[in-house]
Amino acid sequence: MGQRSAQAATEELGAWASGVDAADVPPEVLERLGLVTLDVVGVAAVGAGLPEQRALRRAWELPVGPAPLFGTGRTAPADAAAWLTAVAMACLELDEGNKYAKGHPAVHGFPAVLALAAARDASGADTAAALLVAYEVAARFGRATSLRPGGHPHGNWGVAGAAAGCARLLGLGPQACAAAVDTGAGMPIAGHFDSATTGNPVRDAWVGAANTAGLAAARMAAAGLARNTGTAELSLGALLGEFDPRALTEDLGTRWHITEGYFKRHASCSFTHPAADAILELARDEPVDPSAVEEIVVETHALGAGLSGVDWDNRLSAMFSTPFVVAATALDGVVGPHTYRAGRIDDADVRQLARRVTVVAADDLTARLPAERATRVTIRGTDGTTRRCEVPNPVGDAAHHPFDEDAVVAMLHEWLPGEEDFVARLRRFSRELPTLAATGEPLRGLDGTATPSAAPKEERA
């Protein structure tokens, strides 16, 4: 389409972003924003409790700052909070995603916007508008971008969303917002998908970098140092794949991508979820007896067919292995944070069953993308019997058994045992966000410390 087309589309998108007002947003969109906020902030608190995340915070030598590190009992400067929150949000593969964006829009911008809102004590209305802008712009850039084979979507198209959300929160005008978006689009990370399947945590760091890059892009625009030159056509297009700027402005203001996302009940890549859901469906009629399984065939779309590895050696590589997820689901009934705490990645029974899982691409399922991420699972028994189940999307998708607030809260209670007060405060914040006069103290109230005088959880652990 050309650099000028990207420039024009970015200009239109920036003008829209600068004018988003929470008061004019449809109620169902604001309700969904609250649900996404509830999910991703809660998931960040779950991730923050992992030993490696505690170690990362210690290595960071964090000073006290105005922005919360959700669930830790600590605060930090905005940039550090944005990075560390994003990594904690992504590290368990539980954060909300969007099939049309082909990735995770929220994690690319919500940590930066929430950290900046806490630092500036922004109003709830402005913060809600900025979060919506961050999500919508990231999702549209995700739709517009087709990465080269092997490209991972973390840390590239999502930077534009972080930049847009932060620019909106800073109150920048149309041209400055467009310049911030363009600058963010010019700071992508070229990450390879195999970093995830081979278990390299750099994959989580990509979203941390996206959030801090978005903050930097918005500040450059605020200082008058940014320009809109259609950079996305060069960085996301010529270098990383293909870029179609028409997706940036199509149905702008009427189609809200945040209403089309999915929530996750399995701690694994979303491409593995339909297979796990199919196993659970089959187990409702008759439990899966591993000793009676000859083979489990998982037919899936082309995007998910590569997640076939059986040589995982850490949590991240296991989360990107359909054989692991299928085997663990068949044996345990779920794949959650506790699956990894319990050492199931090293369990002999899980590995033995996983070696009997075959993952193949099916053209008819690929043809149903992007509206469906369908999967067929066939269990062939040692006695010659065959059982089959097909699911069109993961459970929790907006189009397939969508989750409501009660469902998300129930998952958070399961993943955050003993943190009922934190979950209740987060639920209240997510509901009341657009009406809050200021967000600084309410956000810092989500750092995980029950009372202002309580010692941080890092010190109490």
pLDDT at 451: 37
Nearest of 249, 250, 248, 244 to residue 1 by alpha carbon: 244
Question: Which residues sit opposite 98 in a β-bridge?
Answer: 103
pLDDT at 229 over 80: yes
- Taking residues 352-381, what's their average pLDDT? 97
Superfamily of domain 270-391: 2-methylcitrate dehydratase PrpD (3.30.1330.120)
**Nearest partner of 174 among 404, 14, 31, judged by Cα:** 14
Find out whether 161 and 138 touch, Cβ atoms under 8 Å. Answer: yes
Chain-centre distance for alpha carbon 421: 24
Instruction: Of 49, 90, 102, give the one whose Cα is nearest residue 82.
Output: 90
Burial of 111 (0-12, 13-18, 19+ CB in 10 A): buried
Residue 450 has pLDDT above 80, yes or no: no
| Digit-coded pLDDT (tens) for 157-210 | 999 999 999 999 999 999 999 999 999 999 999 999 999 999 999 999 999 999
- CA neighbor of 267 nearest in space, from 87, 88, 94: 94
Instruction: Label residue 460 by pLDDT band (50, 70, 90).
Output: very low
The residue ranges of every structural domain in the chain are 3-260, 270-391
Q: Tens digit of pLDDT for each residue in 69-103? A: 999 999 999 999 999 999 999 999 999 999 999 99
Report angle CA 164, 134, 304 to the nearest 5 degrees: 125
In the predicted structure, residue 454 carries a pLDDT above the cut 90: no
- pLDDT class for 458, splitting at 50, 70, 90? low
Tokens 């796990």 sit at which residue?
276
pLDDT for res 457: 59
Q: Does 449 have pLDDT greater than 60?
A: no
| Residue 459: band (very low, low, confident or very high) from pLDDT cuts 50, 70, 90 | very low
**What tens digit of pLDDT does each residue of 16-58 get?**
999 999 999 999 999 999 999 999 999 999 999 999 999 999 9
Measured over the CA atoms of residue 111, residue 114, residue 118 and residue 119, the dihedral's sign is positive
pLDDT for residue 461: 44
State residue 447's pLDDT score: 84
Q: Full-prediction pTM beyond 0.85?
A: yes
Instruction: Note the pLDDT of residue 432.
Output: 98
Beta-strand ranges (E) seen in 6-142 are 67-69, 74-76
Confidence of residue 453 (pLDDT cuts 50, 70, 90): very low
Average pLDDT, the chain: 95
Backbone dihedral region for residue 253 (phi beyond 0: left; psi -120 to 50: alpha; all else: beta): left
Dmax of the chain from CA atoms? Answer: 71
Q: What is the mean pLDDT of residues 222-232?
A: 98
Report the pLDDT value the prediction gives residue 341, as an integer from 0 to 100.
Answer: 86
How far apart are the C-alpha atoms of 209 and 154, rounded to whole Å?
10
How far from 457 is each of 25, 38, 59, 83, CA to CA, in Å? Answer: 37, 21, 16, 19
- Look at residue 1 and tell me whether its pLDDT is greater than 80: no
Say what percent of the chain tops pLDDT 90. 95
pLDDT at 343: 87
Q: What is the pLDDT of residues 262-300, one digit of tens each?
A: 999 999 999 999 999 999 999 998 899 999 999 999 999
How far apart are the C-alpha atoms of 379 and 293, rounded to whole Å?
7
What letter represents residue 94's amino acid?
Answer: L
307 with 289: CB under 8 angstroms? no
CATH of domain 3-260: 1.10.4100.10
